Chain A
Amino acid sequence: MVNTIKLNTGASVKDYNKVSDWLSFETPDKILISSGKVDIGQHISTTLALISSRELEVDINSITVKKLNTDETPNEGITASSLSVPNSGTAIRSASIIFKKSFLDYASKSLNLNKNNLKLDNGVVKDPDSNASMSYWDFSKTDEFLKLTIPENIEIFDQTNIDHDLHVETKFINSIVKGEYKFLHDLKFDDMLHARIIRPPSYSHKFLSIDDKVNKYLSDHNLEIYIKNSFVAVLGVDEYEVIKSLNLLKNSIKWEQINKLAKDEIFNLIDQNEKDSLLVKRGGEAFNENIPDLKTYDNNHKTITTEFNKPYLMHGSIGPSASCSIYKNGKFEIYSHSQAIYALKSILSNAFNLEENYITLHFMPGAGCYGHNGADDVTYEAALLSKEFENKHVLLKWTREDENCWEPYGSASKNKLSATLDENNRIIYWSSEAYSDTYLTRPMVGKLENFVSYRFLNNDFKKYKASPRTGAHMGIHRNLDPIYNFKETRLVKNLVHDLPLRTSALRTLGAFANTTATETFMDELSIEVNIDPFEFRINHLDDDRAIDLLNDLKTQMDKDKPLDDSYRGIAFSRYKNSASYCAVGVELIVTDNVEVELKRAWITVDAGEIAFKEGIEAQVEGGFIQAASWSLYEQVNFDNNEILSKDWDNYKIIEFDNIPSIKTSVINRVGYPYLGVGEAVAGPTGASISNAIRRALGERIKTMPFNQESIKKQLLG
């Protein structure tokens, strides 16, 4: 039986409510779908094409996703926060449903056939008697098509008959495996200049002078230098000559250090520095209200406290950030791999005092970015240089050291928790405080200082103070509000000022630390009261989907007999308490030499109705591996003068030797809204690894990374 379900057509349709905003049929047999979400390796292009192909009943290979540029594709804001499928996917699904329905009505009238007898075959209906036919492409040429709008709610047919286990080849995999997939880094123009920035030793080094002797070297090698205050760049036609000059130029410049980078160890600074403290209420919003004191209970109640520390983490893209720009006839044409090309258009208009319609940004792939990395900075820098070297394309690439030292990191953070249990082993009081620098320094109109080069271009070395964000699950307090039904909570967000390193949005923002803190503490409490960790969590849950998720994970894990000498840990969360549900189990061994070897992992995810199962699996398995890397290996090191994690030897990430076998179970909720899935797995991963290590060592390791050196240090106290 086919059921109809009411579907809210979503946020993106509010601004783009015409079907023709999302679908076009210019080429015979081909359908072009438009989206404002950029494909950064999360397979959004494949997912959107698949969604549309199902509704239009055409082969996925007949659907192409339009290349993004700020003049032609819908502005759906930043590609972030696990909103691509919920927003763009829902819009394209709605547009496809309305298109097909309207087409069938139109074809029925035009061909004078009963609508119920029409058979759709790859976008074509035929009158069997007269052989007259009508196609999607015919219909798209009519005024009726251009008039089609998408309402706020539509009826959809449920899709219980879809076989989500059928393999779907992702859109770019064929060109990727052949080495033919073009990244921004591969752009070539006849008139092109390659560029690199000569970076000072730290954020607050002022340019004093450059040795005159470099001029001869530069002219001998056909290189040009651009200096504005403390911003220095070198440009030339031959990329390798540009790269070769970097050390020479670096050693020829005298800098003056204005401020020391760090005055103390980071977790001491988090404790000591000035903060803005806000009260977070159930529902996840933050309020500038008095913070109640921590409650104390009598001896009949068990009260336990803990803390969790996370160091600075880097996005660490494998391909350094790059951008290409040309300024010609008063107009910018810019290629960028930023997640925020639409916002950049306005920001660059602000930066260069130029009307927006003189700026076009084209999205071109870079390597995976995982949030606000160097992509925006390099776009601004390339635009700036192209304005100075008019009529030439300037392709600016960051070096590995640039990427590692100048991107905005995910902040170091601290969580302090306390919980009180009643005589029935139920948590009656839960206090959770998060301490961190900001997760939001994306460039904005009026906030050009958020570009890393702004300070050097303007010799402006003051530290700009961030303001705490208050919306539900923003930045530092993302997932601070636990999903559990605790009787009373005390939730506090602390934005810590004057911390040493530049920070911004890294995948999940504060949710990785907050979920890890919550879920390791839940595990600690379950150990304290000697209750099975699944049962202890379920005892504190009202949400049926969360309970189903945990039961599914338990079933998956119980199927596999534990390996000798191994320990298991579990954890779960619902990202932002509104996106996907994700539960993770890990099995690991802690060797005699205190090294953590991951053996197996089980992931259960509920992302609403499945749009693209392999895409969901890739996102959660990839997210698991990245978060395992954060948990076990990663930490940005720095001293008083500079960042020390300049390359991969000095910033260790996970490799193939510690990848567990992973089994992923995807729960399909037919008729439920699509939920974003890119970030749901990170927090549960960190917590499940910590929980397994706790069971292996009999002691909680409270500071990441959980590597040999750090664990040994913490065990020795």
Chain B
Amino acid sequence: MVDGLQGNLIMSKSEYNITVNGETKSVVITEDKPLLYVIRDDFNLTGTKLGCGLEQCGSCAVLVDGNKVLSCNRPAVEFVDKEITTIEGIAKNDVLNEIQQSFKKFNAAQCGYCTSGIIVSLTDLFNKKKSPDRKEIIDNLSGQLCRCGSHASVLKAVNNLIEKRKMNG
């Protein structure tokens, strides 16, 4: 952030290769431009949301090499040569992932603004753990804020997924 009039205020733009959902684009950006704006502006993917710009609400969660990262503040240049996956890239060949399917089954969203971040966050967890326990789920969802109160339906969808995985062995 620019706090005063002193110093070099004009930040030059450079070209960087960023890969989102398997597509690599050469983007011309300043080195401080957060990943979120590159995803939304340069890749035209608007499923990742700006909620606070302070890494406090989780709406901007994406996966970077399979790990959850909040994209609203960290410069995109940190993620050159990384595999970034947004909510739009989570479904493979138009087949929803298990979490998306379970969210559908339980209508686990109200206004839906926070839902992308929550699904991305849970995707990180369920990719790594077959049957996460309550603590792991709560830890994963810590910082994923929802104001409509969709939490109960989200937890039902999560529990249903765990049950389904258990049944399928």
Contacts and interface: CB of A to CB of B under 8 A. Distances in A.
Interface of A: 40-43, 167, 169-170, 172-174, 176-183, 185-186, 188, 211, 213-214, 217, 220-221, 238-240, 243-245, 247-248, 251-252, 315-320, 365-368, 370, 397, 399-400, 614, 618, 621-626, 629, 647-649, 653-657, 659, 662
Interface stretch (B111-119, B125-133, B161-169): B111-119
B3 A655 contact: no
A245 B3 CA distance: 9
B110 A42 contact: yes
A439 B167 CA distance: 51
Nearest to B102: A177
A248 B4 contact: yes
A179 B146 contact: no
A656 B151 contact: yes
B142 A622 contact: no
B1 A625 contact: no
A648 B59 contact: no
Given A179-B45, A179-B47, A622 B149 contact: yes
B105 interface: yes
Interface string B1-32: 11111000110000000000000000000101
B52 interface: yes
Contacts of A41: 109-112, 148
Give the dominant DSSP class at A's interface. loop
Nearest to B117: A318
A211 B5 contact: yes
Contact of A618 (B2, B34, B107, B143): B107
A302 B89 CA distance: 67
B53 to A, nearest CB: 6
B5 A623 contact: no
A621 B57 contact: no
Contacts of A629: 149
B155 interface: yes
Contact of B142 (A40, A188, A657): A657
B14 to A, nearest CB: 15
11 contacts: A41-B110, A170-B109, A172-B109, A248-B9, A370-B147, A399-B53, A626-B148, A654-B151, A656-B142, A659-B152, A659-B155
Q: Which of A182, A397, A655 has the most CB of B within 10 A?
A: A655
10 nearest A-B residue pairs (beta carbon): A179-B47, A41-B111, A622-B149, A179-B87, A625-B149, A367-B113, A41-B110, A186-B46, A176-B112, A368-B111
Contacts of A366: 111, 113
A42 B146 CA distance: 14
A314 B110 CA distance: 19
Contacts of A182: 46
B1 A173 contact: no
A43 B112 CA distance: 11
Contacts of A647: 52, 54, 56
Given A214-B5, A217-B9, A400-B51, A177 B88 contact: no
Q: Which of A181, A214, A397 has the most CB of B within 10 A?
A: A181
Nearest to B118: A656
A367 B111 contact: yes
A400 B52 contact: yes
B71 interface: no
B151 to A, nearest CB: 4
A626 to B, nearest CB: 5
A180 B104 contact: no
Interface in B131-160: 137-138, 141-155
Contacts of A367: 51, 111, 113-114, 147
Contact of B34 (A220, A238, A240, A621): A240
Nearest to A221: B10
B49 A319 contact: yes
Nearest to A172: B112
Contacts of B46: 179, 182-183, 185-186
Contacts of A618: 107, 110, 150, 153
Contacts of A365: 111-112
Contacts of A179: 45-48, 86-88, 90, 116
A214 B40 CA distance: 28
A42 B86 CA distance: 26
A181 to B, nearest CB: 5
B113 A368 contact: yes
A368 B109 CA distance: 11
Contacts of A370: 147
Contacts of B107: 43, 169-170, 173, 614, 618
Nearest to B153: A618
B74 interface: no
Given A173-B107, A177-B109, A656-B141, 10 more contacts: A173-B109, A179-B45, A179-B116, A211-B5, A244-B2, A247-B2, A316-B147, A366-B111, A370-B147, A648-B145
A173 B104 contact: yes
A240 B105 CA distance: 37
Given A183-B113, A213-B5, A173 B88 contact: no
A48 to B, nearest CB: 16
B96 to A, nearest CB: 7
B51 A318 contact: yes
Contacts of B111: 40-41, 318-319, 365-368
A46 to B, nearest CB: 8
Contact of B2 (A248, A319, A625, A653): A248
Contact of A169 (B9, B87, B104): B104
